[in-house]
Amino acid sequence: MNVLKDILYKVPIDAVTGNTSVAVNALCFDSRKVSLNDVFVAIRGTESDGHAYIEGAVKKGAVAVVCEEIPKDIVNGITYVQVSDTHAALAIMASNYYGNPSVNLKMVGVTGTNGKTTIATLLYQLFRKAGYKVGLLSTVKILVDDKEYKATHTTPDPVTINYYLDLMTQEGVEYCFMEVSSHGIAQKRTQGLHFTGGVFTNLTHDHLDYHNTFAAYRDVKKSFFDNLPKSAFALTNVDDKNGIVMMQNTAAKKYTYALKSYADYRAKILENQFGGLLLKIGENEVWVKLVGRFNAYNMLAIYAVARLLGLEEMEVLRLLSELDSVQGRFQYFISGKKITTIVDYSHTPDSLRNVLETINSIRTGNEELITVVGCGGDRDKAKRPLMAAIASELSTRAIFTSDNPRTEDPEAIIKDMEKGVEPLNFKKTLSITDRKQAIKAACQMAGENDIILIAGKGHETYQEINGVRKDFDDFKIAEEMMKELHK
Ligand SMILES: CC(=O)N[C@H]1[C@@H](OP(=O)(O)OP(=O)(O)OC[C@H]2O[C@@H](n3ccc(=O)[nH]c3=O)[C@H](O)[C@@H]2O)O[C@H](CO)[C@@H](O)[C@@H]1O[C@H](C)C(=O)N[C@@H](C)C(=O)N[C@H](CCC(=O)O)C(=O)O
Ligand SMILES: Nc1ncnc2c1ncn2[C@@H]1O[C@H](COP(=O)(O)OP(=O)(O)OP(=O)(O)O)[C@@H](O)[C@H]1O
Ligand SMILES: N[C@H](CCC[C@H](N)C(=O)O)C(=O)O
Ligand SMILES: [Mg+2]
């Protein structure tokens, strides 16, 4: 049994009514999931205000409530704790509840617009290959050494995070690599965690529906580094124009990486092909299986983290060359007529540009490059015309289709995309709302040596339309289609 005041350790408290020595069962921030003797934390969210559900939570058996405003009608025998920020309180309480597992792990958080999943997943792979027990919290999956769990968020809520960190410590895990999303930082999901290191990848347009301005989005990312302890390292990409900004107020020890600028960790691309990259890292050359300039940045960040965590230079280089690409990130197959089909999770203007530029830099020039792309519903609308402009500019043909429309009208999303296409590129484009039909059209259009890029959904195994998720896997669909059409 946990005692409320122990769970509240280090939470700044404004007022209390009732007894904080009360025993509590679980920590809960959703009234619909409250059980007997739980402590309910009321969160002011984006859709609703958890304070409206305090009464319901108490009726369901909550024995204590943590909130920003104690309700007027308090119930006898229930403890009410007032704090100024319940998001932060929840995160600190979650760490306390699970016995602060992050202190017993070497945790590295990866943040930035693109590259988080790639870097965190490949660090997981690298450290396992080096013989350690490792954990991973990522967009694609959660891994507790070799045990796999389903991921619902890139950075889950703090109770879920600490639940898995606790599991990791029980399994003897030593290193944990986690993605830290901007929503996660803004909602303080990672507050109270003890990080050994933090990595910044890059910052480009995304999620402005949530953060409103690019400056606010940048400042949220920066606050992750502002909160790192002195004992941690902070590694940043100084080729990105916000790379230095991220480090300005951190107490952590600063390190830089770059392909172009002066930096502590530097790499050069010697070759860039479909088969992989030949990199020069420091004085050494290494072949890696990942493709594209952006992956040179990812590989260099991985190299730097591994070195900062104490692995030997030669061992890191050897292990880098063994890493396989991450599911749904530049994942490709070659079928009859030497047609290459690539599935990639590029769902931002920058990542789409990067992946298309990568393909253009390694194709010989005569082949068609057919891009199938859509934009998610209930997400940043400003991305839509930009992504359509990039797809139509950098491909020989672009097919606009649905991503996850969620609650929006799929055709309206496509109309928003079409507005970004330059008049000269319009004849290269086509819109097919049904994603499966769009993929089919691309497969039918493709001829000898052509390249198809299916962008936006990567590893996702569903498509969400009107709140309903139906099975949908870009890679599987394209593979079946190609088998049928180009035997
Ligand atoms: C916009 C957003 O980020 N929402 C997240 C947020 O929900 P919220 O606090 O805004 O929820 P709300 O519906 O307004 O409710 C407020 C509070 O009332 C409670 N409530 C609500 C109803 C009720 O009957 N009783 C009750 O107690 C809710 O449990 C909540 O605590 O906190 C929840 C718990 O942590 C998250 O599950 C939820 O993620 C939603 C589902 C989501 O889609 N989030 C996406 C945008 C997201 O977080 N993405 C990032 C990655 C982005 C990237 O690619 O970089 C991620 O880290 O996954
Ligand atoms: N370092 C990078 N710089 C720019 N683009 C990248 C980089 N790494 C990967 N990408 C592109 O971005 C896409 C998403 O990569 P990844 O999943 O690693 O990013 P992420 O930051 O985890 O994204 P999310 O915010 O959705 O979790 C890839 O499919 C690729 O097209
Ligand atoms: N983590 C991102 C993923 C977007 C993936 C894309 N397929 C979409 O559904 O928009 C988000 O929630 O905005
Ligand atoms: Mg990710």
What is the Cα 450 distance to its own chain's centre?
31
- On whether the CB atoms of residues 176 and 137 are closer than 8 A, the answer is yes
Which residue spans within 83-200 are E strands per DSSP? 106-111, 134-137, 141-144, 147-150, 175-179, 197-200
- Which residue in this structure is represented by tokens 């958890």? 50
Residue 211 pLDDT > 80, yes or no? no
Pairing of strands 39-41, 141-144: unpaired
Q: Which ligand is nearest to the CA of 221?
A: 1
Q: Tens digits of per-residue pLDDT, 87-135?
A: 999 999 999 999 999 999 999 999 999 999 999 999 999 999 999 999 9
Sign of CA dihedral 311, 313, 317, 318: negative
At 194, list the tokens.
């003890």
How close is the Cα of 244 to the center of ligand 2, in Å? Answer: 20
**474 CB within 6 A, ligand 3:** no
Measured distance CA(469)–CA(365) in Å, rounded? 39
Q: Which atom of ligand 2 is nearest to the CA of 179?
A: 22
Q: Name the phi and psi angles at 393, rounded to 5.
A: -75, -40
Kindly report the pTM of this predicted structure: 0.94
Q: Does residue 457 sit in helix, strand or coil?
A: coil
Q: Which atom of ligand 1 is nearest to the CA of 41?
A: 31
Which residues are in the CB-under-5-Å shell of ion ligand 4? 116-117, 139, 154, 179
Q: How many Å apart are CA 434 and CA 417, to the nearest integer? A: 15
| 182 marked as part of a ligand binding site | no
Is 310 within 8 Å of 454 (Cβ atoms)?
Answer: no
Pocket test residue of 47, 54, 140, 159 for ligand 1, highest count of atoms within 8 A of CB? 47
Candidate of 118, 182, 453 to mutate for ligand 2, largest count of ligand atoms within 8 Å of Cβ: 118
User: What type of residue sits at position 75?
Assistant: V
Q: Which residue lies with its CA nearest to atom 13 of ligand 3?
A: 379
In angstroms, rounded to a whole number, what is the distance separating the alpha carbons of residues 37 and 39? 7
The yes-or-no verdict on residue 448 having pLDDT over 90 is: yes
Name the residue of 28, 29, 31, 43 whose CB sits within 8 Å of the most ligand 1 atoms, as the mutation to test its pocket: 43
Mean pLDDT of 163-191: 97
CB 116 within 8 A of CB 202: no
443-458: average pLDDT: 96
Rounded mean pLDDT, 407-430? 97
Q: Which residues line ligand 1 (CB under 6 A)?
A: 29-32, 43, 45-48, 50, 53, 153-155, 157, 181-184, 187
Q: Is 229 annotated as a binding residue?
A: no
Cα distance between residue 469 and residue 457, in whole Å: 13
158 lines ligand 3 (CB under 6 A): no
Predicted confidence (pLDDT) per residue in 244-263, tens digit: 999 999 999 999 999 999 99
The pLDDT of residue 240 is 96
User: Residue 158 pLDDT more than 80?
Assistant: yes
Residues within 6 Å of ligand 2 by CB: 114-118, 139, 154, 179, 201-202, 294, 297-298, 329, 344-346, 350-351, 354-355, 458
CA of 118 to the centre of ligand 2 (A): 7
Q: What is residue 156's three-state secondary structure?
A: coil
The tokens 């209930």 sit on which residue?
378
Residue 210 confidence (pLDDT): 81
181 is in an annotated binding site: yes
Q: Is the CB of 221 under 6 A from ligand 3?
A: no
For the segment 225-233, the average pLDDT, to the nearest whole number, is: 98
Q: What is the CA angle 257-262-265, rounded to 5?
A: 30
Res. 487: pLDDT tops 70: no
Of 419, 414, 415, the closest CA to residue 456 belongs to 414
| Tokens matching residue 419 | 């507005």
Are the C-beta atoms of 248 and 289 separated by less than 8 Å? no
For residue 156 and ligand 3, the question of a CB distance below 6 A is answered with no
pLDDT at 365: 76
DSSP bridge pairs for 278: 271, 287
Map out the domains of the chain with their CATH numbers.
Answer: 2-95 (3.40.1390.10), 98-322 (3.40.1190.10), 331-485 (3.90.190.20)
pLDDT value of position 274? 85
Q: What distance in Å separates the CA atoms of residue 315 and residue 322, rounded to the nearest whole number?
A: 11
So what's the pLDDT on residue 148? 98
Mean pLDDT within 260-269: 97
Q: Is 383 in the pocket of ligand 3 (CB under 6 A)?
A: no
Q: What is the pLDDT of residues 356-368, one digit of tens each?
A: 999 998 888 789 9
ipTM of the complex: 0.96
- Nearest bound ligand to the CA of residue 111: 2
Going from the Cα of 205 to the center of ligand 3, the distance in angstroms, rounded, reads: 13
181 CA from centroid of ligand 4 (Å): 8
- Ligand having the closest approach to the CA of 344: 2
| Sign for the pseudo-dihedral over CA of 457, 459, 462, 464 | negative
406 Cα–ligand 3 center, Å = 10
Whether the per-residue pLDDT at 180 is higher than 80: the answer is yes
- How does 337-361 read in b/e, with b if 16+ C-beta sit within 10 Å? eebbbbbbbbbbbbbbbbbbebbee
